[in-house]
Amino acid sequence: MGEPLIRHRRDDDLKACVEALATVHRADRYPAQWPADPGGWLTPDGMLDAWVAVEDQRVLGHVALTRTGDVLAADVGRAPAELASVARLYATASARRRGVARALLATVTRAAAAEGLRAVLEVEEGGRAAVALYERAGWRHAGSRPGDWTTADGRTALLHTYVAPAAGTR
């Protein structure tokens, strides 16, 4: 199998994105609570753009870029207008260890930089594989704080904030 194609998400991709997300939720409990409107969850308020990884018409992964809220911006110590948030990043189990999540992360990071924005994200402490991905990609841990939701195992979420490397440093 070759590299999957990374492209902008189209409206007609949403059903396949939801189906892929359902497999991730079953395997990894991401998202922790299945949303009442999964298509809406994949299209959050403030979304700037979204991308999918596809192979043979199958969606293997997804990522979105959104405006950054005040709390996350404060965690990073920058104005929200200087930042863009990585959101809804996932890869299906069949796409793991093939570089799909890494390629989606690189795509969204470049897109933010092209707009003069620094990419940031939050990850729940239980997402150890995701944290390893971000750190391998040169993202810097900027702080941690309790979330306002409960994880699948019943504990209060602990959110770690990460900042992308400066454009041109990786």
Q: How far apart are CA 9 and CA 45, in angstroms?
A: 16
Q: For residue 59, is it within any domain?
A: yes
For 50-66, write each residue's pLDDT tens digit.
Answer: 999 999 889 999 999 99
Residues pairing with 55 in the sheet:
58
Position 151 in a domain: no
Q: Whole domain around residue 15: which residue ranges?
A: 5-120
- pTM listed for this prediction: 0.94
C-alpha to C-alpha distance for 35 and 8, rounded to whole angstroms: 23
Please tell me the least confidently modeled range out of 8-12, 73-77, 141-145, 148-152. 148-152
The verdict on residue 140 lying in a domain is: no
Q: What is the CATH number of the domain that holds 96?
A: 3.40.630.30
162 in a structural domain: no
Q: Answer for the pair 64, 49: CB distance below 8 angstroms, yes or no.
A: yes
Quote the pLDDT of residue 1: 52
The verdict on residue 159 lying in a domain is no
Task: Examine the pLDDT at 84 and tell me if it is beyond 80.
Answer: yes
159 or 96: which leads in pLDDT: 159
Token representation of residue 121: 């994200």
Per-residue pLDDT, 55:
94
Give residue 58's pLDDT. 94
Question: Does residue 170 form part of some domain?
Answer: no
- Check the CA dihedral 113-68-50-87 and report its sign: positive
User: Taking 70 as the threshold, does the pLDDT of residue 169 lie above it?
Assistant: no
Report pLDDT digits (tens) over 29-44. Answer: 899 889 999 999 999 9
pLDDT category at 165 given cuts 50, 70, 90 is very high
Q: Contact at 8 Å (CB) between 92 and 23? A: yes
Residue with tokens 């969606």: 59
* Helical ranges in the chain per DSSP H: 14-28, 38-41, 70-76, 100-114, 128-136
What pLDDT does residue 2 have? 64
Query: Is the residue at 81 inside a domain?
Result: yes
Overall number of domains in the chain? 1
**Mean of pLDDT over the chain:** 94
Q: Are 63 and 51 in contact (CB under 8 A)?
A: yes
pLDDT at 135 over 90: yes
